Copies of this chain bind each other. A is one copy, B any other.
Amino acid sequence: MTAHPRLSLNQATVKHADLRTTLGVCRDSGIPAVGLWRESVHDTGRAEAVRLLAGSGLRLSSLCRGGFFTAAEGRARRAALDDNRRAIEETAELAAGAAPGSAAVLVLVPGGLPDRDLPQARLRVVDAIAELAEEAGACGVTLALEPMHPLYAADRGVVSTLGQALDIAEQFAGVGVVVDTFHVWWDPELNAQINRAGRSGRLVSFQVNDWITPLPADALLARGMMGEGHIDLPAVAAMVQEAGYRGDIEVEIFNQEVWDSEPGAVAGAVVEAFAKHVLS
């Protein structure tokens, strides 16, 4: 089966494969793009990772992930912001070496609650992006704020809806949002906010997967392969298309069973499920 020309394999889907293996299974299965994770880039060594990606002929669709900047002012917050600056540089360098059509997009996971003050934690996300947006722009990197399922509001991502992410992104040049089906599929305003993201030119990353029930015991691993769950993926893909997004579409699945499978088999399953349940 031929992979869709806009399909990208997010590395989290083959979590236990190293960078070389990940690039290899993409090429072997005809997947033309890849979304990388910083942990893997660091394990490989940054220069070597840039070299391997450049040699792979694959496009980069995003680097995951910066963010985690909800701490109060102080040493931990400064360290988080400095780490985000390194992530911006990594994104620029990886994208520059990768195949034409690559996206210098850094995905930002907002971070969870340091205390019970949710509005305050949310304001700290705005402050952090205010601090980073210009530097990202100077490097040609687009920051992509990821609204996360409200399931994660306490411990991972205090930005809970696409509308809220856009309220933040639209304050800054060069900042966009991620539409990840797992995180946003339930939102009554989904169509309207995807449309808005398109109009304001903020839709910079699209990730697909599925919402499965019953929710696995570890809620972090609650994503399924496309077609295994409840999300009307063709409908969401059509909204994103209608909004003018023409970039690569990442498949990002956190799922123990997928992780326990052989990476090449996972890539093959991704190609098939994408064609059957997302876009053909």
Interface residues of A (CB under 8 A from B): 113, 116-118, 122, 149-151, 153-155, 160-161, 163-164, 185-188, 211, 213-215, 217-219, 229-232
Report how many copies the assembly holds: 2
For A188, the chain B residues whose CB sits under 8 A away are 122, 160-161, 163-164
Contact at A117–B230, with CB atoms within 8 Å? no
Report the minimum CB–CB distance from A18 to chain B (whole Å): 28
A118 partner, pick from B116, B161, B186, beta carbons under 8 A: B186
Given contacts A122-B188, A160-B188, contact A232 B116 (CB under 8 A): yes
Instruction: State the CA gap A218–B211 with chains docked (Å).
Output: 16
For A229, the chain B residues whose CB sits under 8 A away are 154
Contact at A213–B149, with CB atoms within 8 Å? no
Instruction: State the CA gap A118–B149 with chains docked (Å).
Output: 17
Instruction: State the CA gap A151–B214 with chains docked (Å).
Output: 11
Query: Which of A155, A188, A229 has the most chain B CB within a 10 Å cutoff?
Result: A188
Report the minimum CB–CB distance from A118 to chain B (whole Å): 7
Report the minimum CB–CB distance from A157 to chain B (whole Å): 10
For A122, the chain B residues whose CB sits under 8 A away are 188
Report the minimum CB–CB distance from A121 to chain B (whole Å): 10
* CB-CB nearest in chain B for A233: B116
Contact at B186–A230, with CB atoms within 8 Å? no
Contact at B155–A113, with CB atoms within 8 Å? no
Given contacts A116-B231, A188-B122, contact A211 B154 (CB under 8 A): yes
A215 partner, pick from B163, B186, B211, B219, beta carbons under 8 A: B219
* CB-CB nearest in chain B for A215: B219
Report the minimum CB–CB distance from A7 to chain B (whole Å): 21
For A231, the chain B residues whose CB sits under 8 A away are 116
For A118, the chain B residues whose CB sits under 8 A away are 185-186, 232
Instruction: State the CA gap A154–B161 with chains docked (Å).
Output: 17
Instruction: State the CA gap A232–B154 with chains docked (Å).
Output: 11
A217 partner, pick from B117, B150, B160, B217, beta carbons under 8 A: B217
Instruction: State the CA gap A116–B213 with chains docked (Å).
Output: 13
A-B contact pairs, 15 of them (CB 8 A): A117-B232, A118-B186, A118-B232, A149-B150, A151-B151, A154-B186, A154-B211, A154-B213, A154-B230, A155-B213, A163-B188, A164-B188, A214-B219, A217-B217, A219-B219
